Amino acid sequence: MLSKAVGENLNVSKIEALTEGGSNAQRHIKLIMDDGTVFSLKDSRLGLIGVYREFLAAQMASRLRLSGSGRSAIIDVPGDISMIGGRECVLLEWLPGADKLENIPLAPESMRNAETARQLGGWCTLVAHLGIGDRNLGNWIWSEKGRIFAAIDFEVWNENSRNLQGKLPGVVKRVLGSKISTELRESFQKGVEDAMADAKSQADVLKSLFEAKKEVYNPSLIDESPEDFTKNMCG
């Protein structure tokens, strides 16, 4: 099942139920491979629309080459799998060594650099484009080992853009600090520009992916220019 989905020979050595995640905890299991790679299988409290949107956002993140974006697939889960057996779920690869921002009291110095700012710019662009809601600090992650920043939990879309853009600057300041330097602003903007360029080059593929799940793909990622978006995010 997994090998066919991700195109690699994988063997599950351990299955664990997830105890975190609020209402989604009972719909989410962790799969540990014999090589140490970790995936999860996730159903959604929103039903198939949530499963498909989680998958589409993860696929888009990979197509835009966003930091920490892993492999993903839609899986028909065998009936003997506890809690989610017999359902169509999304398979998601986890970022090794990552922890949620809510578990990191203060952003380490290793996080506050140009590369992280660039990564953050790309992720904020995707989140704003799809209107991905539920952007609390538990849905952003950081791998100290890999120096990689990423977003997780993509099932809620179409959040009011004004509400969303009111929340994202708080995450930006949490990661880059309250006084963001010119260097970090420029790197954030570079991440925005890179995401937009990749979206343009992948437009036909993304359109087909979205239409296959009955979603409309808008090739214009954000209505603002990269400069204006950066200004709104970084203050």
Q: Which of 181, 6, 187 is nearest to 90 (CA)?
A: 6
Q: In angstroms, rounded to a whole number, what is the distance separating the alpha carbons of residues 181 and 124?
A: 18
Residues of the chain with CATH 3.30.200: 2-93
CATH of segment(s) 2-93:
3.30.200
Predicted local distance difference test score (pLDDT) of residue 7 = 54
Q: Does domain 98-234 have CATH number 2.20.28?
A: no
Predicted local distance difference test score (pLDDT) of residue 83 = 77
- DSSP assignment, residue 13? E
- DSSP assignment, residue 113? S
Question: Which residues in the chain land under pLDDT 50?
Answer: none
Q: In angstroms, rounded to a whole number, what is the distance separating the alpha carbons of residues 33 and 95?
A: 14
Q: For the stretch 74-109, what's the b/e string if a residue is b when 16 or more beta carbons lie within 10 angstroms of its beta carbon?
A: bbebeeebeebeebebbbbbbbeebeebeebeebee
Question: What does the pLDDT look like over 104-159, one tens digit per residue?
Answer: 988 788 899 999 999 999 999 999 888 898 888 999 999 999 999 999 999 998 76
Q: In angstroms, rounded to a whole number, what is the distance separating the alpha carbons of residues 171 and 146?
A: 20
Residues of the chain with CATH 1.10.510: 98-234
